[in-house]
Amino acid sequence: MAQSGDLQGACVWTGSEMGRDRRWVKDFPVGLLAQIDIAVKATGDLDWRQINRRNFVLPGADAFFDDVREELENGSGMVKLRGLDVSRYSEEQLRRIWYGIGAYLGTPMYQNRFGELMRDIRDEGMGGAKLYGATTDASGKQFLSSGARTLSSGQLRFHTDRCDVVGLLCVRQASEGGVSKLASSATVYNTIRKRRPDLHALLCRPIPRSRFGEEAGGEHVAYELPVFGVKDGKLTSHFSLTYIENAQMLPNARKLTDAEHEAIQMLMAVAEEECFEMRFEPGDIQLLNNHIIYHGRTAFKDDQSTGQDRLLMRLWLSVQNSRALPDDHAVLWGDIGAGKPHGGIGQPATAAVP
């Protein structure tokens, strides 16, 4: 039973419920798929970075994408789009298609300090550490940045990304593993509040983070931000244990109390308890509202000999119907106004032309 002060609405769900609920699974209309095919051919050899709504024309698509944004912001917080036949297109054509869809959904945001607007998510071995950074912990063991972990074949713990919506287009799936794990951060919020209000209160207060792997020199920069923030009845939960752990390595960052460590571990445990799993199929597009969804991934194994080497194409999007954020979130998000371009690394891109 919901208690006074609990979060309400479709964003509050359990894994067992969402595993049976198909509200978040949407098939591309046949007519829209035909329009996408026409648009990708019409753009010829145009670089995907030059794609926008003026040159990637999808007549009558606004109602479909409005429905997708509504589910992301005021529904379950996640959408899986199905029906795109990736086998019909080259990788470069898929980049144009995906960036074009992204321009209809929102404003693509820079994903790192190098100004990347689309990032291939695959096992890059040590390439991820070279791009996003690695350090050593107190025991001398290698400590990878969050970005470097993403570009490995290892497990990813529950986390959120620094954007309203993260979108992943599956081009190829691994031969084993690579299962997506999703949890409602609103459910985690309510559950911790019910079981341990003392720990819940700590997660609503500032927690030290680092900018390791994001901005240049970020491995030396610490800031504080609550894990849970609520404004106008809507939650935003920005969480990545890697940034919290790295902040604890910095001499200028406040050390967590035992109770704060316990609160973070409870968050991870409840997310695991309340999550559900889904496996990407080629052509699937997963869209997640980072304010109300935690996502993770199981480890995976590629088999290039059979063409099963995992490749996802990632977009970070700021969306026009996004929620307003609490004032203290400006340190990470920039403009915190509802519907404003915020998040990302650096300035927003200009690809989403009305």
Q: Which of 201, 204, 223 is nearest to 214 (CA)?
A: 223
Instruction: Quote the pTM value.
Output: 0.92
Tell me the C-alpha to C-alpha distance, in Å, between residue 20 and each of 83, 122, 200, 269, 278: 20, 29, 29, 22, 12
Q: Give the tens place of pLDDT for each residue, 155-201.
A: 899 999 999 999 999 999 999 989 999 999 999 999 999 999 999 99
For 183-236, the DSSP string reads EEHHHHHHHHHHH-HHHHHHHTSEEEEE-TTSSTTGGG-EEEEESEEEETTEEE
User: Tokens for 7?
Assistant: 């979060």
- What proportion of the chain, given as a percentage, has pLDDT over 90? 75
Beta pairing partners, 142? 136
How far is the C-alpha of 73 from the C-alpha of 66, rounded, in Å? 11
Instruction: Give residue 353's pLDDT.
Output: 36
- Torsion-angle region of residue 233: left (phi > 0), alpha (psi -120 to 50) or beta? left
User: Tokens for 61?
Assistant: 């698509």
Q: Check: CB of residue 348 under 8 Å from CB of residue 107.
A: yes
Q: Give the tens place of pLDDT for each residue, 271-303.
A: 999 999 999 999 999 999 999 999 999 999 988
- pLDDT of 214 higher than 80: no
Q: Which of 99, 84, 89 is nearest to 52 (CA)?
A: 99
Q: Check: CB of residue 266 under 8 Å from CB of residue 199.
A: yes
Task: Name the architecture of domain 1-20+153-306.
Answer: 4-Layer Sandwich (3.60)
For strands 300-301 and 228-231, give the pairing. unpaired
Instruction: Give residue 113's pLDDT.
Output: 82
Domain ranges of the chain: 1-20+153-306
- Torsion-angle region of residue 178: left (phi > 0), alpha (psi -120 to 50) or beta? left
Contacts of residue 102, Cβ cutoff 8 Å, sequence gap at least 6: 108, 167, 315, 317, 351, 352
- Tell me the pLDDT band of 126, cut-offs 50, 70 and 90: low
Q: Which of 262, 77, 273, 289 is nearest to 191 (CA)?
A: 273
Could you give the count of Cα atoms lying within 13 Å of 2 in the half-sphere of its Cβ?
A: 10
Beta pairing partners, 294? 183
Instruction: Give residue 310's pLDDT.
Output: 93
Q: Name which of 14-28, 66-80, 211-225, 309-323 the model is least confident about.
A: 211-225
